[in-house]
C-alpha cells in the first residue's frame, strides 16, 4: 500500500542518511552447507537497550534446501527519491534474497512481524533462465526503474556470460536481461553505479563451474578468474570500457562507489595476487572521460609453516589475506577491509581516496591465528571477518565469518564454524564484548551477509549530494 | 472563443498544482543544480521542463478543441469524461510508477522527459472540463472550416499558455527556494503523496465534465 509521505528510511542524500536512528534488528543470511536442512534468515537483536541484545531472536526457514543464501537486498531504498523516476511512497519492507547455488530468489516481508519475516514470493530458477537468461543470482540493488540482480551464470547454470537481470519493483517478476550490449564482458559478480552520472560498474569472479567445487588451483595459477572492472552506460545499457587490473590480480569482488553522487570514484577489492599472495584494494576514477584504476592498498601475505596450512595453500608457505569484502561508510570516510585468510578487519581513513591511511585493525579467527573474540577468550575461532556491514551513522560495524560453502571447506577444513561480531567505530575501533552470537546460536548454519533494518552502508543509492 | 473567470481560475490552479508536484520536474531541476553545484542548471532546466509539460498539455487541448464542434462536443465531453474517470481510477489503484533511467540529460532530452512524465500522468486530461465547457466555444455557423480550426488551435494555445505559465511560476519558485534556502531535507517531511491527490483530481475532472455535459 502506498504511503502518504515518503518511507522514513529514505534519505535524499548521504549527508542526511548519517543522521538515521540506530538499527534495532539485523537480518543475516545463513545456509546449511550439507544442503540437508533449509537455509534461513536469522534475525538478530542489535538494540543495546534490549535484554536479548546480541542474540538471534527470530528465524525464517526457507521451504527448500540447498539454496546457499549469500547476498541480498531491499525492494526499495533512497533511490526512490531520485527525480527522474520518483516513487517515494513505496515501503522498504521486502528483502530480495537470492539462493546463489539454487538460483531461486525469495521475496521476504519483514513488515508484519519484523522478527519473523514471512516469505511472500519465490521466483523459480526457470523464470530467471527463461526471461533473463541467467542463473546463480547474487547482488541486489534497488534502481530507479526496477530491481537489479547480478548473476554469475548463464541460463540453467551455463558457464556464462553472467550479467544483470531486472525485476519488477512491485510484482517482483523477472523483466529480462539488463544488458543491451555487453561487449567483451563475460564474467560477473558484483555491480553498483554512479546513479546520477549514468554509470554502471561491474566486477568479475568466475562462472559456476569455476567456483562451485571450490577454488581451482589450476585456474587460479593460470590466471583465469576475473581481473577486470567493467564500466557501462547505465541509461543505454551498453558496455563502455574494460579496465584490466592485470591478470595476476585474481578475483575482483566487491564494489563500493562513493555515496556522494557528485563524486566519481569507488573502491574494488581484489582477493589475491598470484605473484605474492597479497590482496589489494583499488580505487577507480574518471580522468579525461576515461575510467582508470589504481592500487591504493596492498596487504601482504603472512608467512607460515606448511604444516599449519590447509592443503589448498600449503605449497605456498604463507597465509594469503584474502580480501573478500570491503565496505565504505555512508559519509565516504572509512573503508573497512576484511582479510578472511589472516583473520583481520582493517579500517582505513579514505577521506583522500587515493591515499588511504590505516586507522585501526582488529584480529579475529584466521587460518593459522584462530584469534578468539574478547567475549570468549578461550575459544579459538575458525573463519575470519568476511561480510562487513556498516550502520548508516557509521558507528557500528557488523561482520560474519563464512565466505562460500565450498571455499570455507578448503581454507578451514576442520570446520569454519559460525559467528558474528560487532565493532564500535569511533575514535577507536574495538569489539563490542556484549555482541557475539556464535556456534549453536546459528543452529549449525553458516552466516553470510548482514542487512540492517532500515538500510545500511551498502543498501542505498542517493541522487542528491 | 470565450473564457469565463471560473475556468481561468481553474486553469491557473491546475497549473499551480502541476508545478507543485516534485515529480513534474522542479525536483529534477534542483538535482541538476546540486550535481553541478551551481544555480545555473536549475534555471536552465525549468524552461525545458515547462516546454515538455506544455507540449503534453497542448496535444490534449488541440485534440479536444479541434473535435469540439457543436455536433461533437457532447460526444467528446462524455467520452473524455469517462476516459478520465477510468484513467484516474487506474492511477489511483495501480502501483506502477513512471520508469526512467538516466540523470544526465541534455535540455532537449529533459523536455522530452517532462513531456513523457506529464503525459503518463494525464496532465493535459485534467484540463478536460475547462476545455469542453469553460474556455472553448467555436461557433459552427459563421465561418468556414479553416477559421474554425484556426480559432480552435488558438484556444488550445491559450489554454496551454495560461496553464503552463502558472505551472512554470510555481515550479520555478519552489525549485529556487529549495535549492537556495530550504534544502532537500524538506522532501522527507513534505513530499505528500500527490499521486493520490492527482488521481483524485483526474477522477473529479472526469466526473465534472460528465456532470456539466449531462
Question: What are the domain boundaries of chain B?
Answer: 5-213
Could you read off the pLDDT of B116-170 as tens digits, one per residue? 999 988 888 888 888 877 544 444 444 444 456 778 888 899 999 999 999 999 9
**Is the confidence at residue B194, as pLDDT, over 90?**
no
CB contact under 8 A, B188 and A197: no
Task: State how far residue A371 is from chain B, nearest Cα, in angstroms.
Answer: 44
State how far the Cα of B205 lies from the Cα of A264, in Å rounded to an integer.
Answer: 46
**A338 burial class (0-12, 13-18, 19+ CB within 10 angstroms)?**
buried
Domain boundaries, chain A: 14-452
Q: Which is more confident, A27 or B93?
A: A27
- Give the mean model confidence (pLDDT) for residues A331-354: 98
| Torsion angles phi and psi, residue A63, rounded to 5 | -80, -10
CB contact under 8 A, B97 and A11: no
Confidence band of B197 (pLDDT split at 50, 70, 90): confident
- Specify the residue for cell string 567493467: A230
pLDDT of residue B131: 82
Per CB-CB distance under 8 Å, the chain B contacts of A145 are 99-101
Task: State how far residue A228 is from chain B, nearest Cα, in angstroms.
Answer: 25
**Count of C-beta atoms within a 10 Å radius of residue A223:** 13
Q: Which residues of A98-132 are buried (b: 16+ CB within 10 A; e: fewer)?
A: bbbbbbbbbbbbbeeebeebebeebbebebbbebb
Q: Which is more confident, A318 or B78?
A: A318
**Is the confidence at residue A411, as pLDDT, over 50?**
yes
SS (H, E, C) chain B: CCCCHHHHHHHHHHHHHHHHCHHHCHHHHHHHHHHHCCCHHHHHHHHHHHHHHHHHHHHHHHHHHHHCCHHHHHHHHHHHHHHHHHHHHHHHHCCCCCCCCCCCCCHHHHHHHHHHHHHHCCCCHHHHHHHHHHCCCCCCCCCCHHHHHHHHHHHHHHHHHHHHHHHHHHHHHHHHHHHHHHCCCHHHHHCCCHHHHHHHHHHHHHHHHHHHHC
pLDDT of residue B143: 44
Nearest to A449 by CA among A125, A39, A22: A39
Contact A281, A249 (CB under 8 A): no
Q: Which is more confident, B126 or A29?
A: A29
Confidence band of A442 (pLDDT split at 50, 70, 90): very high
Return mean pLDDT, chain A: 97
Beta bridge partners of B22: none
Per CB-CB distance under 8 Å, the chain A contacts of B200 are none
Beta bridge partners of A167: A147, A174
The residue among B22, B95, B101, B190 with the most chain A CBs within 10 A of its CB, best to mutate, is: B101
Return mean pLDDT, chain B: 85
Task: State how far residue A236 is from chain B, nearest Cα, in angstroms.
Answer: 9
Task: State how far residue B135 is from chain A, nearest Cα, in angstroms.
Answer: 33
Per CB-CB distance under 8 Å, the chain A contacts of B102 are 84, 198, 234-235
Could you read off the pLDDT of A87-121 as tens digits, one per residue? 999 999 999 999 999 999 999 999 999 999 999 99
| Torsion angles phi and psi, residue B29, rounded to 5 | -60, -45
Smallest Cβ–Cβ distance between A198 and the set B102, B185, B192 belongs to: B102
- Specify the residue for cell string 573463519: A383
CB contact under 8 A, A85 and B97: yes
Angle at B76 between CA B70 and CA B78, to 5 degrees: 115
**Count of C-beta atoms within a 10 Å radius of residue B148:** 17
Contact A220, A250 (CB under 8 A): yes
pLDDT of residue B152: 81
Residues B109, B111, B112, B113: is their CA dihedral positive or negative?
Answer: positive
Residue A373: DSSP 8-state: P
CB contact under 8 A, A85 and B191: no
Contact A132, A165 (CB under 8 A): yes
Nearest to A437 by CA among A380, A395, A411, A399: A399
Could you read off the pLDDT of A118-156 as tens digits, one per residue? 999 999 999 999 999 999 999 999 998 999 999 999 999
Q: Is A197 helix (H, G, I), strand (E, B) or coil?
A: helix
Q: Is A349 helix (H, G, I), strand (E, B) or coil?
A: strand
- Specify the residue for cell string 494555445: B157
Q: Is A78 helix (H, G, I), strand (E, B) or coil?
A: helix
pLDDT of residue B137: 45
State how far the Cα of A161 lies from the Cα of A392, in Å rounded to an integer.
Answer: 34
Per CB-CB distance under 8 Å, the chain B contacts of A5 are 188-189, 191-193
pLDDT of residue B138: 41
**A426 burial class (0-12, 13-18, 19+ CB within 10 angstroms)?**
exposed
pLDDT of residue B129: 83
Nearest-CA residue of chain A relative to B193? A4
- Give the mean model confidence (pLDDT) for residues A282-305: 97
- Specify the residue for cell string 496535444: B59
pLDDT of residue B126: 87
Per CB-CB distance under 8 Å, the chain A contacts of B196 are 2, 4
Looking at domain A14-452, its CATH class is mainly beta
Q: Which is more confident, A295 or B93?
A: A295
**List of residues 6+ apart from A375 with CB closer than 8 A:** A431, A433, A434, A435, A436
Q: At what angle do helices B145-177 and B5-20 cross, to 10 degrees?
A: 40
Q: At what angle do helices B70-93 and B194-213 cross, to 10 degrees?
A: 150
| Torsion angles phi and psi, residue A250, rounded to 5 | -95, 130
Which of B:67-126 have CB within 8 Å of A?
A: 95-104, 113
pLDDT of residue B95: 75
pLDDT of residue B1: 44
Contact A447, A400 (CB under 8 A): yes
Instruction: Judge if pTM exceeds 0.80.
Output: yes
Amino acid at each position: 500500500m502506498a504511503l502518504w509521505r515518503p518511507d522514513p528510511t529514505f534519505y535524499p542524500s548521504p549527508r542526511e542518511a548519517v543522521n538515521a536512528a540506530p538499527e534495532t534488528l539485523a537480518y543475516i543470511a545463513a545456509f546449511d552447507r550439507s544442503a540437508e536442512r533449509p537455509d534461513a534468515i536469522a534475525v538478530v537483536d542489535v538494540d543495546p537497550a534490549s535484554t536479548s541484545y546480541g542474540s538471534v531472536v527470530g528465524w525464517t526457514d526457507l521451504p527448500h534446501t540447498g539454496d546457499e543464501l549469500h547476498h541480498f537486498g531491499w525492494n526499495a531504498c533512497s533511490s526512490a527519491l531520485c527525480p527522474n523516476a520518483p516513487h517515494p511512497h513505496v515501503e522498504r519492507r521486502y528483502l530480495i534474497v537470492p539462493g546463489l547455488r539454487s538460483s531461486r530468489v525469495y521475496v521476504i516481508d519483514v513488515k508484519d512481524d519484523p522478527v519473523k519475516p514471512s516469505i511472500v514470493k519465490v521466483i523459480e530458477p526457470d523464470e530467471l533462465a527463461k526471461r533473463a537468461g541467467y542463473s546463480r543470482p547474487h547482488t541486489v540493488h534497488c534502481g530507479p526503474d526496477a530491481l537489479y540482480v547480478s548473476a554469475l551464470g548463464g541460463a540453467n547454470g551455463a558457464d556464462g556470460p553472467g550479467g544483470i537481470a531486472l525485476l519488477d519493483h512491485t510484482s517482483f517478476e523477472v523483466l529480462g536481461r539488463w544488458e543491451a550490449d555487453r561487449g567483451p564482458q563475460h564474467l560477473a559478480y558484483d555491480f553498483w553505479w554512479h546513479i546520477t552520472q549514468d554509470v554502471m560498474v561491474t566486477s568479475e569472479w568466475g562462472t559456476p563451474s569455476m567456483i562451485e567445487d571450490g577454488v581451482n588451483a589450476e585456474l587460479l595459477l593460470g590466471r583465469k578468474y576475473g581481473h577486470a572492472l567493467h564500466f557501462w552506460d547505465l541509461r543505454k545499457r551498453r558496455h563502455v570500457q574494460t579496465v584490466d587490473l592485470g591478470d595476476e590480480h585474481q578475483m575482483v569482488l566487491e564494489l563500493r562507489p562513493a555515496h556522494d553522487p557528485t563524486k566519481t570514484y569507488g573502491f574494488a577489492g581484489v582477493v589475491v595476487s598470484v605473484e605474492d599472495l597479497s590482496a589489494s584494494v583499488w580505487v577507480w576514477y574518471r580522468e579525461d572521460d576515461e575510467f582508470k584504476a589504481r592500487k591504493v592498498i596492498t596487504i601482504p601475505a603472512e608467512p607460515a609453516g606448511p604444516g599449519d596450512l590447509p592443503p589448498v595453500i600449503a605449497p605456498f608457505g604463507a597465509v594469503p589475506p584474502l580480501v573478500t569484502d570491503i565496505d565504505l561508510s555512508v559519509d565516504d570516510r572509512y573503508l573497512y577491509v576484511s582479510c578472511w585468510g589472516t583473520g583481520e578487519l582493517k579500517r582505513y581513513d579514505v577521506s583522500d581516496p587515493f591515499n588511504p591511511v590505516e586507522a585501526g585493525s582488529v584480529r579475529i579467527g584466521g587460518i593459522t591465528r584462530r584469534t578468539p573474540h574478547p567475549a570468549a577468550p578461550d575459544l579459538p575461532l575458525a573463519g575470519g571477518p568476511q561480510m562487513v556491514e556498516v550502520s548508516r551513522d557509521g558507528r557500528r560495524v557488523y561482520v560474519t565469518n563464512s565466505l562460500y560453502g565450498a571455499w570455507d571447506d578448503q581454507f578451514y577444513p576442520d570446520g569454519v564454524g559460525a559467528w558474528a561480531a560487532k565493532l564500535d567505530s569511533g575514535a577507536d575501533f574495538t569489539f563490542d564484548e556484549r555482541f557475539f552470537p556464535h556456534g549453536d546460536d546459528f543452529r549449525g548454519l553458516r552466516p553470510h551477509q548482514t542487512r540492517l533494518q532500515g538500510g545500511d552502508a551498502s543498501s542505498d543509492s542517493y541522487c542528491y549530494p | 472563443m470565450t473564457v469565463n473567470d471560473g475556468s481561468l481560475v481553474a486553469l491557473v490552479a491546475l497549473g499551480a498544482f502541476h508545478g507543485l508536484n516534485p515529480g513534474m520536474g522542479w525536483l529534477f531541476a534542483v538535482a541538476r543544480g546540486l550535481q553541478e553545484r551551481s544555480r545555473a542548471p536549475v534555471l536552465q532546466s525549468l524552461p525545458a521542463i515547462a516546454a515538455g509539460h506544455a507540449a503534453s498539455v497542448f496535444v490534449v487541448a488541440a485534440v479536444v478543441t479541434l473535435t469540439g464542434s457543436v455536433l461533437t462536443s457532447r460526444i467528446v465531453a462524455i467520452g473524455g469524461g469517462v476516459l478520465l474517470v477510468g484513467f484516474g481510477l487506474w492511477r489511483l489503484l495501480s502501483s506502477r510508477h513512471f520508469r526512467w533511467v538516466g540523470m544526465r540529460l541534455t535540455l532537449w532530452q529533459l523536455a522530452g522527459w517532462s513531456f513523457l512524465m506529464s503525459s503518463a500522468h494525464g496532465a493535459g486530461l485534467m484540463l478536460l472540463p475547462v476545455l469542453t465547457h469553460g474556455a472553448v466555444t467555436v461557433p459552427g455557423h459563421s465561418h468556414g472550416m479553416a477559421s474554425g480550426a484556426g480559432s480552435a488551435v488558438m484556444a488550445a494555445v491559450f489554454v496551454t499558455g495560461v496553464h503552463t505559465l502558472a505551472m512554470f511560476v510555481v515550479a520555478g519558485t519552489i525549485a529556487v527556494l529549495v535549492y537556495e534556502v530550504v534544502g532537500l531535507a524538506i522532501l522527507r517531511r513534505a513530499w505528500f503523496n500527490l499521486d493520490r491527490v492527482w488521481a483524485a483530481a483526474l477522477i473529479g475532472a472526469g466526473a465534472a465534465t460528465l456532470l456539466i455535459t449531462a
